[in-house]
Structure 1
Amino acid sequence: MSRTAVRGFAVASATAVTTVGAVMGVAQAGSGQAAHDAEAAAGDSTLLADLPAGQQAQVQTASLTRQAAGQAIAADATAKRTAEEAARKQAAEEAIAKQKAAEEKAAEAKAKAAEEAERAEERQKAETTATTASGTGSFPQQASYTVAEVQAIARQIVPAGQFQCFSNIVDHESTWNYQAVNPSSGAYGLVQAYPGSKMSSAGADWRTNPATQIKWGLNYMNERYGSPCDAWAYWQANGSY
């Protein structure tokens, strides 16, 4: 190999290494290393001028190829960082959206529960008001009452959902006879109040007015057991209430 060829090969190798080092220096080490490599490349350009034109083209082609490769590596690194940042941002946005959706769902469920509770309370108040309004004053006094008439009065006083339980108790206690008297204890009326005078709290006509007895009996079951159905459950378990 001639001295000129050897020299050209050395210049090409040095130039290529210097060029790659400059590119990688920009991507990894910063501007100081890039400046140093640029100065080395400038020094090598003087040697390059001493080479024949054909070898100069080869050296320059090799240098540009490696420079492009270095730039591609730097671009890939930048793209990777950008993609990772975008992925982190998207994950954060999705987490925030999920949390917001969960909070909205919880708030909606809470509002629905509050609305249902309010409606239940309004229904309870309406039933209580209806029961109170359906006291003895709403039913004209009669000389006597049939079982069917007494039951019709009870249906107007006792809430619909509790009537059957109330009826079951009255069936067992008095068979709907508002003047029934227990010969042993003296318990009196539809619900066999003992003593019967307890029913005076619902009206002075407790002996002769089934509406007064029904009103008192309903209040008694609600206060002591919670409802006529709870009173009936107790009756079934104990044979009395």
Structure 2
Amino acid sequence: MPVSTTPLPETRHSLGAKRRRVRRIRLAGLTGSVATAAVLCTGLVTGVASGSAFGLPTAAGTPSALTTALDVVAPGQTATAKSDFTVTDASGDRVSVHAGSAVSRSTANTVATIALASGKHAAAEASGKVNASELKMSLASLAGYQKLDADTVLARADATQDAAADVTTATEKVEKRAAAKAAAARKAAQAAAAKAKQEKADAVRQAAANTPAGAKATAQALMSSQYGWGSDQFSCLVSLWTKESGWNYQAYNASGATGIPQALPGSKMASVSSDWATNATTQVIWGLGYISASYGTPCAAWAHSQSVNWY
């Protein structure tokens, strides 16, 4: 059966382990030389009566932690480190040896300072956005790092930086969602403002078109473009609708005749648009169509109105 080569998705645990490996690799460059010195110089332990090699203080006549962790050999012989040993000291610039590596006090302090700074920054950025309680606990555990042994400092610094990375990732996700929501709100607000502006402009234009002068201008333009009627026909139309309604789109007769062309009933003009009761342009369009279909020209309609007093 073929074996799948697709990598499995990384989990929070695997990401944390990867971050710790990277940090350990970076520390190796700082601490490798110290570890080497610790091993190569073990022969010096036999020449220090007080047992204070590498700055590890002991009581007079008492073997140091390092001498109890290493085979003591005579001068000129090869010193062999015991298979498992741990040497730590929390003060000064001492060496902490663990599982074959060595980390100086100053290096541990530097790592702790960096972890605290990045953790506090992550916690501040997360305020009011995500739960940073785990990160705050890690920061608290590292607060007194000067009194802790180097190994403990490194372990807590690792935990703090992992927690800071998790909080930063969560914060960035929340901020990204908030930014997208804000952008959508701005876009909606802009669209609403543009719509309101357009509606206001339309209302202004409609108000102008609803005046007698506006209605006449609309009629003259439509007569020429839609029917090919000239100024003589426009003059007849002006006379006709001045008599009928005074070019008032709100004109209403007791008989039910409505608007500029005095459509009877006014609802006939709905064949043009549903806004027939409030839009002079709709009334003009319907009236011109009615004149063309019923009389052929405005002058013919005007002649009929003069003859029988209606058209």
TM-score, normalised by the number of residues in structure 1: 0.40
Between 1 and 2, higher relative CO (CA 8 Å, sep ≥ 6) is seen in: 1
TM-score, normalised by the number of residues in structure 2: 0.31
The structure with the largest alpha-carbon Rg is 1
